[in-house]
């Protein structure tokens, strides 16, 4: 690799990445792409508690995406723009898709918990009341009551993301991130409560 103050062309970087050159890979993701990840974090993960850990995770995930199937995505770069400009678009789309998939998965976890609870009971009316009590108890026990409020509005009152964003004076992107964190806290709180009763 060239000295630190020497410029690496996009062709050299792509070639080095495909060859899995460790120095070029590190240089590209940690130096050249600093603004790329800062942009994606700012747009999609504003409230994440640890930006540095998030950046490491994002680099790993994006690297895997670029290099999968003999670097199919990376080989799709046709040098019509700067590599970092192209990667900003690729990264933004990739992490939106990943975030939405995570939200979808997390949004089903409490329902799965409810189904497991319902399977343990025999009387249908009792089952519904019991599940509702458990959900209420979990929401009340959550350490962050803003998260509990968001879950209550979205899932129990069926409030749309757009309406809830207006009510809370937040962007929809910011709210998506809060919802993901809220579901994670809901599930953690449920299992803590479950442990307390065992």
Q: Are 88 and 19 in the same domain?
A: yes
Sequence-distant contacts of 86-92: CB under 8 A, at least 24 apart: 87/33, 87/36, 88/36, 88/39, 88/40, 90/62, 90/66, 91/36, 91/37, 91/40, 91/58, 91/62, 92/39, 92/40, 92/43, 92/44
The answer on pLDDT for 19 being more than 90 is yes
Is 92 within the bounds of a domain? yes
Q: What is the pTM of this model?
A: 0.52
Question: The CATH number of the domain where 131 resides is what?
Answer: 1.10.10.10
* In a domain? residue 116: no
Q: Is 6 helix (H, G, I), strand (E, B) or coil?
A: coil
Rounded mean pLDDT of 34-41?
83
Report the domain count for the chain: 2
Contact (Cβ atoms closer than 8 angstroms) between residue 173 and residue 44: yes
Q: What is the pLDDT of residue 173?
A: 78
Lowest mean pLDDT among 3-17, 45-59, 89-103, 117-131: 117-131
Q: How large a percentage of the chain has pLDDT more than 70?
A: 75
pLDDT value at 172 more than 70: yes
User: Which residue, 96, 113, 136, sits at the end of a domain?
Assistant: 96
Structure tokens given for 141: 């026990």
In which domain, by residue range, is 161 found? 121-197
Q: Are residues 57 and 125 in the same domain?
A: no
The verdict on residue 109 lying in a domain is no
């Amino acid at each position: 690799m060239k000295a630190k103050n020497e410029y690496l062309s996009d062709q050299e970087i792509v070639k080095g990445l495909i060859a899995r050159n460790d120095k070029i890979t590190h240089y590209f993701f940690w130096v050249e792409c600093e603004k790329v990840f800062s942009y994606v974090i700012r747009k999609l993960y504003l409230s994440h508690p640890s930006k540095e850990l998030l950046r490491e995770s994002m680099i790993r995930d994006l690297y895997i995406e670029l290099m999968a199937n003999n670097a199919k995505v990376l080989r799709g770069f046709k040098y019509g723009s700067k590599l970092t400009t192209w990667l900003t678009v690729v990264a933004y789309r990739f992490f939106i898709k990943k975030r939405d998939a995570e939200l979808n998965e997390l949004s089903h976890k409490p329902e799965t918990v409810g189904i497991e609870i319902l399977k343990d009971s025999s009387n249908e009316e009792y089952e519904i009341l019991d599940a509702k009590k458990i959900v209420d108890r979990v929401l009340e026990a959550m350490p962050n009551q803003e998260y509990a409020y968001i879950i209550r509005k979205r899932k129990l009152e069926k409030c749309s993301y757009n309406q809830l964003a207006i009510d809370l004076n937040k962007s929809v992107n910011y709210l998506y991130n809060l919802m993901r964190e809220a579901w994670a806290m809901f599930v953690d709180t449920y299992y803590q409560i479950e442990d307390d009763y065992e």
